[in-house]
Amino acid sequence: MYVAYAVVVTVTALANLAMVVADLARADFVLSNMCELGLNPAHLTPLAALKTAGSAGLLLGFAHLYPIAIPAAIGLVAFFTGAVITHLRARVLYNLAFPLTYLALATASLTLTLLHANSQ
Protein backbone atom coordinates (compact mmCIF):
# COMPACT_ATOMS: atom_id res chain seq x y z
CA MET A 1 0.00 0.00 0.00
CA TYR A 2 2.93 2.34 0.59
CA VAL A 3 3.74 2.35 -3.12
CA ALA A 4 0.21 3.48 -4.02
CA TYR A 5 0.37 6.15 -1.32
CA ALA A 6 3.77 7.39 -2.50
CA VAL A 7 2.82 7.45 -6.18
CA VAL A 8 -0.56 9.15 -5.76
CA VAL A 9 0.70 11.78 -3.32
CA THR A 10 3.74 12.52 -5.49
CA VAL A 11 1.65 12.81 -8.67
CA THR A 12 -0.87 15.04 -6.88
CA ALA A 13 1.82 17.34 -5.52
CA LEU A 14 3.67 17.57 -8.84
CA ALA A 15 0.48 18.19 -10.83
CA ASN A 16 -0.48 21.01 -8.46
CA LEU A 17 2.98 22.51 -8.53
CA ALA A 18 2.93 22.46 -12.34
CA MET A 19 -0.29 24.48 -12.22
CA VAL A 20 1.27 26.85 -9.69
CA VAL A 21 4.00 27.60 -12.23
CA ALA A 22 1.36 28.24 -14.92
CA ASP A 23 -0.62 30.44 -12.52
CA LEU A 24 2.38 32.53 -11.52
CA ALA A 25 3.56 32.81 -15.14
CA ARG A 26 0.08 34.05 -16.05
CA ALA A 27 -0.11 31.48 -18.83
CA ASP A 28 -2.60 32.36 -21.57
CA PHE A 29 -4.78 29.31 -20.90
CA VAL A 30 -4.97 30.20 -17.21
CA LEU A 31 -5.97 33.81 -17.87
CA SER A 32 -8.50 32.73 -20.49
CA ASN A 33 -10.05 30.25 -18.08
CA MET A 34 -10.21 32.84 -15.30
CA CYS A 35 -12.07 35.24 -17.62
CA GLU A 36 -14.53 32.56 -18.74
CA LEU A 37 -15.26 31.72 -15.12
CA GLY A 38 -15.75 35.37 -14.25
CA LEU A 39 -12.83 35.40 -11.83
CA ASN A 40 -10.40 38.24 -11.27
CA PRO A 41 -6.89 37.32 -12.49
CA ALA A 42 -5.53 39.20 -9.46
CA HIS A 43 -6.61 36.16 -7.43
CA LEU A 44 -4.12 33.90 -9.20
CA THR A 45 -1.32 34.50 -6.70
CA PRO A 46 -3.40 33.64 -3.61
CA LEU A 47 -4.84 30.59 -5.41
CA ALA A 48 -1.32 29.50 -6.35
CA ALA A 49 -0.27 29.93 -2.72
CA LEU A 50 -3.08 27.63 -1.59
CA LYS A 51 -2.04 24.96 -4.12
CA THR A 52 1.59 25.32 -3.05
CA ALA A 53 0.69 24.94 0.62
CA GLY A 54 -1.47 21.90 -0.13
CA SER A 55 1.27 20.26 -2.17
CA ALA A 56 3.96 20.95 0.43
CA GLY A 57 1.70 19.71 3.20
CA LEU A 58 0.98 16.49 1.33
CA LEU A 59 4.68 15.85 0.87
CA LEU A 60 5.25 16.29 4.62
CA GLY A 61 3.33 13.05 5.04
CA PHE A 62 6.48 11.29 3.83
CA ALA A 63 8.14 12.59 7.00
CA HIS A 64 5.21 11.17 9.02
CA LEU A 65 3.91 14.67 9.76
CA TYR A 66 0.31 13.57 9.35
CA PRO A 67 -1.14 16.43 11.45
CA ILE A 68 0.01 18.63 8.55
CA ALA A 69 -0.48 16.23 5.62
CA ILE A 70 -4.09 15.36 6.40
CA PRO A 71 -5.36 18.97 6.64
CA ALA A 72 -3.36 19.77 3.49
CA ALA A 73 -5.14 16.97 1.64
CA ILE A 74 -8.49 18.15 2.99
CA GLY A 75 -7.64 21.66 1.83
CA LEU A 76 -6.90 20.44 -1.70
CA VAL A 77 -10.17 18.49 -1.79
CA ALA A 78 -12.03 21.62 -0.69
CA PHE A 79 -10.13 23.79 -3.19
CA PHE A 80 -10.95 21.57 -6.16
CA THR A 81 -14.52 21.02 -5.01
CA GLY A 82 -14.81 24.79 -5.21
CA ALA A 83 -13.21 24.78 -8.65
CA VAL A 84 -15.73 22.22 -9.92
CA ILE A 85 -18.62 24.22 -8.45
CA THR A 86 -17.26 27.39 -10.04
CA HIS A 87 -17.11 25.69 -13.44
CA LEU A 88 -20.65 24.36 -13.06
CA ARG A 89 -22.07 27.71 -11.94
CA ALA A 90 -20.38 29.51 -14.84
CA ARG A 91 -21.46 26.74 -17.22
CA VAL A 92 -17.91 26.32 -18.45
CA LEU A 93 -18.17 22.60 -19.00
CA TYR A 94 -15.81 21.93 -21.91
CA ASN A 95 -12.79 21.84 -19.59
CA LEU A 96 -14.49 20.49 -16.46
CA ALA A 97 -12.30 17.38 -16.72
CA PHE A 98 -9.32 19.37 -15.41
CA PRO A 99 -10.69 20.36 -12.01
CA LEU A 100 -12.38 16.95 -11.74
CA THR A 101 -9.03 15.23 -12.32
CA TYR A 102 -7.35 17.39 -9.69
CA LEU A 103 -10.25 16.70 -7.32
CA ALA A 104 -9.88 12.96 -7.90
CA LEU A 105 -6.13 13.17 -7.21
CA ALA A 106 -6.70 15.19 -4.04
CA THR A 107 -9.39 12.78 -2.84
CA ALA A 108 -7.18 9.76 -3.53
CA SER A 109 -4.30 11.49 -1.72
CA LEU A 110 -6.50 12.20 1.28
CA THR A 111 -7.77 8.63 1.40
CA LEU A 112 -4.32 7.08 1.08
CA THR A 113 -2.78 9.52 3.56
CA LEU A 114 -5.46 8.63 6.12
CA LEU A 115 -4.93 4.92 5.51
CA HIS A 116 -1.17 5.26 5.68
CA ALA A 117 -1.30 7.35 8.87
CA ASN A 118 -3.59 4.82 10.55
CA SER A 119 -1.34 1.91 9.61
CA GLN A 120 1.66 3.45 11.38
pLDDT digits (tens, 9 = 90+) for 50-94: 999 999 999 999 999 999 999 999 999 999 999 999 999 999 999
The pTM (predicted TM-score) of the whole model is: 0.95
Q: What does the alpha-carbon distance between residue 53 and residue 111 come to, in Å, rounded to a whole number?
A: 18
Dist. CA 23–CA 17, nearest whole Å: 10
Q: pLDDT (tens digit, 9 = 90+) per residue, 22-46?
A: 999 999 999 999 999 999 999 999 9
Listing DSSP states for 57-111 in one string gives HHHGGGGT-HHHHHHHHHHHHHHHHHHHHHHHHHT--TTTHHHHHHHHHHHHHHH
Q: Rounded to whole angstroms, how far apart are CA atoms 52 and 27?
A: 17
Per residue in 95-113, is it b (16+ CB within 10 Å) or e — as a string?
eeeebeebbebbbbbbebb
Q: Domain segments of the chain: what residues?
A: 2-118
